[in-house]
């Protein structure tokens, strides 16, 4: 993991990022109300696109290019069951017992908001429910460590410890990241302890923390669409994300209403 310039934000910039992330939170809340057996992931994407436009924001994901040179085609990512992240919305109808991870990003007044939730579709198995609970808990464990003076890997360790103590595994191919005027800024934030860059956390940092947690092995593979990542063993995966700011009063969750 190579170091890069970490861009500290002013109080005013953090206020704008809060506005962007409140749009994201509203979209996720709406999608959460829509998730039910029979609805398609394309319908969720269409609703999100309208809400983002109504808020005078732009979708941050649509047209985004990452590892490949292929632009992402939708406003949200909708990842079902064994899909880890970057699932492309389409005609697939959700079924009773599924879980669906929804990632939303917007650009508003020049800043990016980014958050994700994984929803139960109807009644899910006890193990699926436990996976959702532990993954969300691990996100908050990481946020608790996002305090000025701590180290970046204090966040990583908190996530990993909680996940693995509950018998699950953390994905290693995708990580959290700094966020601001662009979607991905330094630093990268793994959800596991590493031996790489470990800067001290400072007031003014804005970070997107996003544990991706698998029911079985942490290993993943990419589908032929060049975006959708799935577990190699076909077991379930969950994803929760918040954008936060490190302040003199501790971490502030920008994407929580």
Residue 195 reports pLDDT greater than 90? no
Q: Do the domain assignments include residue 2?
A: no
Q: Do the domain assignments include residue 4?
A: no
CA gap 172, 4 in Å, rounded? 20
Angle between helix 41-54 and helix 11-34 axes, rounded to 10 deg: 140
pTM of the shown model: 0.96
CA gap 81, 237 in Å, rounded? 6
Bridge partners, residue 115, by sequence = 104
| pLDDT value for 3 | 56
| pLDDT value for 163 | 98
Q: pLDDT digit string (tens) for 99-135?
A: 999 999 999 999 999 999 999 999 999 999 999 999 9
Q: Do the domain assignments include residue 1?
A: no
Q: Do the domain assignments include residue 229?
A: yes
Q: What is the dihedral of CA 247, 150, 101, 55, to 10 degrees?
A: 20
Residue found under tokens 């063993």: 233
**Total number of domains in the chain:** 1
User: CA-CA distances (angstroms) from residue 243 to 158, 181, 252?
Assistant: 17, 13, 9
Q: Do the domain assignments include residue 230?
A: yes
Which CATH number does the domain housing residue 171 bear?
A: 3.90.230.10
- Name the pLDDT band for 67 (thresholds 50, 70, 90): low
Q: pLDDT digit string (tens) for 158-188?
A: 999 999 999 999 999 999 999 999 999 999 9
Helices (H), the chain: 11-34, 41-54, 126-144, 152-165
- Name the pLDDT band for 4 (thresholds 50, 70, 90): confident
Q: Do the domain assignments include residue 6?
A: no
Q: pLDDT digit string (tens) for 203-233?
A: 999 999 999 999 999 999 999 999 999 999 9
CA gap 172, 150 in Å, rounded? 22
Q: Do the domain assignments include residue 3?
A: no
Host domain of residue 167: 11-253
């Amino acid at each position: 993991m190579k170091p890069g310039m970490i861009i500290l934000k002013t109080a005013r910039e953090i206020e704008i990022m809060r506005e962007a992330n409140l749009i994201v939170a509203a979209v996720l809340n709406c999608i959460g109300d829509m998730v039910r057996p029979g609805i398609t992931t394309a319908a969720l994407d269409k609703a999100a696109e309208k809400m983002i436009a109504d808020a005078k924001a732009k979708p941050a994901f649509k047209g985004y290019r990452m590892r490949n040179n292929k632009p992402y085609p939708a406003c949200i990512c909708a990842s079902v069951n064994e899909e880890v992240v970057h699932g492309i919305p389409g005609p697939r109808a959700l079924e009773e017992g599924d879980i669906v991870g929804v990632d939303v990003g917007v650009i508003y007044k020049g800043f990016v908001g980014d958050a994700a939730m994984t929803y139960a579709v109807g009644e899910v198995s006890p193990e699926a429910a436990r996976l959702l609970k532990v993954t969300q808990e691990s996100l908050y464990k990481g946020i608790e460590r996002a305090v000025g003076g701590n180290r970046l890997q204090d966040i990583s360790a908190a996530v990993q410890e909680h996940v693995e103590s509950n018998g699950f595994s953390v994905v290693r191919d995708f990580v959290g990241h700094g966020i601001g005027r662009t979607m991905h800024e330094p630093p990268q934030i793994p959800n596991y302890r590493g031996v790489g860059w470990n800067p001290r956390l400072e007031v003014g940092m804005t970070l997107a923390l996003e544990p991706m947690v698998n029911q079985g092995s942490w290993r993943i593979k990419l589908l032929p669409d060049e975006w959708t990542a799935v577990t190699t063993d076909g077991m379930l995966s969950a994803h929760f994300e918040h954008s936060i700011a490190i302040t003199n009063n501790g971490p502030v969750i920008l994407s929580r209403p």
